[in-house]
Amino acid sequence: MARKLAFGVALGALLTALAGCGYDPGTRAVTGGLLGAGAGAGVAAVTHGKPATGALIGGGVGALGGALTSP
């Protein structure tokens, strides 16, 4: 279980770093939201959670992170 959690955290960190790619806040918010939704669904599926809930939470966090990062 700890190994799956560590993988999920590492994947989330990588996708959050990629969410900062873009030239304006709108683009970064969209890419961050999409990457976050995918990561959230994946982590939820691996940890036997609800992928839809993980996608919603990950998408929200990714969009917010993408919008708040500087280019």
Q: N- to C-terminal Cα distance for the chain?
A: 36
Flag whether 5 is in a domain.
no
**CA–CA gap between residue 4 and residue 33 (Å, rounded):** 22
Flag whether 17 is in a domain.
no
pTM of this prediction?
0.67
Q: Print the domain residue range for 41.
A: 23-71
Residues 58/61/62/65 CA torsion (nearest 10 deg) = -160
Flag whether 38 is in a domain.
yes
- What is the tally of structural domains in the chain? 1
Which residues of the chain are modeled with pLDDT < 50? Answer: none
